[in-house]
Structure 1
Amino acid sequence: MIDAHVHVWRIGANGCTWPTAELTAIHRDFDLDDYRAIARGIDGVILVQSQENAIDTDWLLDLAAQDAFVAGVVGWCDLHASNAAERITELSARPKLRGLRPMVQDRAADWYDDPALDAAFAVMTTAGLVLEALVRPQHLPALARLAQRHPDLRIVVDHAGKPDLGALGAWSEALRTLAAFPKTWCKLSGLLNEVVAGQEDARIAEIVAAVQAAFGPDRILWGSDWPVLHLAASHAEWLAKARDLVPVVQHRAVFRETAAFVYGLAA
């Protein structure tokens, strides 16, 4: 089983400025040994950046080079920087870099429409890197337009696009529009942090059903979003819930094969 969304950090080191102190449940160092202590049945992880800092990405890649448990890294790069193409090329030479994640969730809805980004997206496509999309529902239309402009760029939507529980219809429609582009995938991760306590089962089931209807059985992958997950549940609780919601016949794809395909890993 591959956990396609795991974070590690050291508070105050490697460019780490988040989580802040008020998030007491996760305001401490988390490393791969901490993850191994709580995860069961996982034989590989994708480490995903948590800081908008090149030092964080370099540190994750150094960890990955030393630990076979890390199957790949999704790092960060300032795609607006004048040297973005050079930095992407440099990072792509690191064997376990699999993608890049600009942190768009709090940026303008049309962020992906900026033509100044197209050169970076082109270099990512040539390098075979995944664009990891940390977005909210308002960003999905621009992400679809990006998929149209760069049809060979692989795009993975994190946390199912952080659906707005008050507007699931609009989110679902935008997700279906994006899913019409064949090189887009959706990650079942971070969902428990998006729902109201006490409504988890019904709302998560509704969200997962919409993702399944949009992307089908072969373009969905699972991630824990550990340790951010601790704000809502344990790793075991989220894994069990996800396994219940995904039909058994799809387990191998959702919990291993799709991640292996998208990130170019050995299945």
Structure 2
Amino acid sequence: MKIDSHQHFWEYDPKRHEWIDESMKRIRRNFLPADLKPLLDDAGVEGCVAVQADESLRETDFLLDLADQNPWIKGVVGWADLGADNLNETLENYSSKAFLKGFREVLQGRDPEYMLREEFIRGIQTIGKAGYTYDILVFPHHLKATLELVKKCPEQAMVIDHLAKPYIKNGEWKDWKKDMSPIAERENILCKISGMVTEADWAKWTPETLLPYMEITLELFGPERCMYGSDWPVCLVAGEYEQIFSTVADFTSSLSDSEQKLILGETATQFYNLH
């Protein structure tokens, strides 16, 4: 089963989605399942994982409602305040929601030390005990702190979103690879091959631009810990869905059939326990 492990839905609101600036005006509108399904069908992708874009429980509920209505939305990565004293109560309220697979927050917008707070680490451990995954959304300057976080949570299943957003536009990869390497040594950490085009030059990128970053990610994590994600509709500022999917699919075409299946669906299916 081919799976898009990372996409978003939203009903556009200028205040809630203030991060969508003028340069991204193409995505200043609603993006809902009816917009995505034809794109998945054209690419032969059978299901997806909807990931939070707004930091609120309302967002989690919104995505879960969409999953209830659309069986091809196989899982939801929602939001919860992991540092809150009532986290266990929140998890209990969602315990009957089978589509809720994990949590994420926008760590890339915070100081790296934020993720090393005692209450945050306790929250990560708490969701792990409840059977949930965690998506790590960071920039390269967060990677040293990310390593410390994963050391403190050795049993927690986590996945790094968007390759930790290397500086593709500048062609930089050496420092990024150096900081990713010790994280990749930990078997509980996976990586999404996603979000690359928005870190490249939106107007000039080519598949060849992205190739070194995909090669390094595959080298570090192996196909059994890599998963394809489109980052739709954010990706639309730099490319169409078909371009994003075909770039990753073409990259995997030189691999064995079993390795291709891992990256294009099986790794995500296992990680998020999709059905």
Work out the CA distance in 2 between the residues paired with 1:192 and 1:174: 21
Q: Does 1:243 align with 2:249?
A: yes
CA-based RMSD = 1.7
Instruction: Specify the code of the residue in structure 2 equivalent to 1:118.
Output: I
Work out the CA distance in 2 between the residues paired with 1:183 and 1:172: 18
Secondary structure, aligned partner of 1:105: helix
Length, aligned pairs only: 265
Work out the CA distance in 2 between the residues paired with 1:90 and 1:125: 16
Q: Does 1:17 align with 2:17?
A: yes
| Bigger proportion of residues as helix | 2
Q: What is the TM-score when the length of structure 1 is the normalising length?
A: 0.94
CA deviations 1:72-95 (Å, max 9, x no partner) are: 000011222232232133234311
Work out the CA distance in 2 between the residues paired with 1:42 and 1:192: 20
Range with greater deviation from structure 2 (155-164 or 241-250): 241-250
Deviation at 1:109, TM superposition (A): 1.7
* Alignment correspondent of 1:80: 83
* Alignment correspondent of 1:36: 37
Secondary structure, aligned partner of 1:206: helix
Contact map agreement 2:197 2:205 (CA 8 A) in 1: no
* Alignment correspondent of 1:50: 53
Deviation at 1:24, TM superposition (A): 1.6
Work out the CA distance in 1 between the residues paired with 2:117 and 2:173: 27
Range with greater deviation from structure 2 (87-96 or 1-10): 87-96
Deviation at 1:18, TM superposition (A): 4.2
Moved segments of 4+, more than 4 Å: none
CA pair 143-89 structure 1, distance change in 2 beyond 3 A: farther
* 2:136 alignment partner, one of 116, 133, 136: 133
CA pair 36-238 structure 1, distance change in 2 beyond 3 A: same
Report 1:120-159 matches (<5 A).
120-159=123-162
Contact map agreement 1:72 1:98 (CA 8 A) in 2: yes
Instruction: Specify the code of the residue in structure 2 equivalent to 1:237.
Output: Q
Contact map agreement 1:16 1:56 (CA 8 A) in 2: no
CA deviations 1:187-234 (Å, max 9, x no partner) are: 011101111242433330010011011101210000111111100101
Identical-pair percentage: 30
Report 1:1-267 matches (<5 A).
1-12=2-13, 16-18=16-18, 20=20, 22=22, 23-39=24-40, 40=42, 41-165=44-168, 166=170, 167-196=172-201, 197-246=203-252, 247-249=254-256, 250-266=259-275
Work out the CA distance in 1 between the residues paired with 2:17 and 2:131: 30
Contact map agreement 2:197 2:235 (CA 8 A) in 1: yes
Work out the CA distance in 2 between the residues paired with 1:209 and 1:92: 38
Work out the CA distance in 1 between the residues paired with 2:216 and 2:125: 30
Instruction: Specify the code of the residue in structure 1 equivalent to 2:121.
Output: D
What residue ranges of structure 1 are gaps of 5+ in the alignment? Answer: none
Work out the CA distance in 2 between the residues paired with 1:253 and 1:51: 29
Contact map agreement 1:111 1:139 (CA 8 A) in 2: no
Contact map agreement 1:121 1:153 (CA 8 A) in 2: yes
Q: What is the TM-score when the length of structure 2 is the normalising length?
A: 0.91
Instruction: Specify the code of the residue in structure 1 equivalent to 2:272.
Output: Y
Secondary structure, aligned partner of 1:5: strand
Contact map agreement 1:19 1:27 (CA 8 A) in 2: no
